[in-house]
Amino acid sequence: MAEANWGVGAVAKRSGVKVSTLHFYEQQGLIQSWRNNGNQRRYKADVLRRISVIKAAQKVGISLDEIKQAFLSLPNNRTPTVDDWTQLSKHWRTVLDGRIAYLQALRDNLVGCIGCGCLSMTKCPLYNPDDKLAESGSGAVILDRAEDEARTEEQSR
C-alpha cells in the first residue's frame, strides 16, 4: 500500500472500525478521502491517527460534535500532532471533570430532592418549601446548581 493511497477496506481493517463507520465519519466531516480514477475512496495514512483520536475521545464520552470542533480548530484541518493532542486532551479533561462532578452530584442526590418543583417527596418541603426554587429557574435547580459550581471550580484551577 502506498502511503497516500489506502483503500477503505485497508483503513477499516487497520483502524478497527467498520467501513460504514468510515463513511459516517466522512459524512460528519471528521475524516476525508478522495476518489481515484476508478471512483474508489482513497485515504492518506494519517487518517489512522484521526480515527484513533476519534475513538479515544469517544471512549471517554466526548461527542462527535465536540471532536469535530476540536479538529476544525487545527490549522488547515490537519491531523492532530502530539502537541495538538496535548491541548485537546487538556480541554477535554476539563469537560470530563465537569461531567464527573455532575454525575457525582446526581449520585449523591439520587434519593433526595433535586429541586425539580414536583413537591411529591416528603423531604422536598425541607429543601424546597412551596417550590421557592422556581424563582431560580426551571428544571432540577439543586442538581443544576451543583453542576454549575463544579464547572466553575474546575475552570478556576
Query: CA neighbours within 13 Å on the CB side: how many for 59?
Result: 7
What lies within 8 Å, CB to CB, of 135 at 6+ separation is none
Considering the entire predicted model, what is its pTM? Answer: 0.65
Identify whether the C-beta of residue 109 lies closer than 8 Å to the C-beta of residue 154. no
Q: Give the three-state DSSP class for 6.
A: strand
What is the distance, to the nearest Å, from the Cα of residue 91 to the centroid of all Cα atoms in its chain?
Answer: 11
Q: What is the pLDDT of residues 67-114, one digit of tens each?
A: 999 988 888 778 888 898 888 888 888 888 888 888 887 787 676 777
Phi, psi of 35 (to 5 degrees): -105, 135
- Full set of structural domains in the chain with CATH: 1-80 (1.10.1660.10), 83-157 (no CATH)
Cell of 60: 471517554
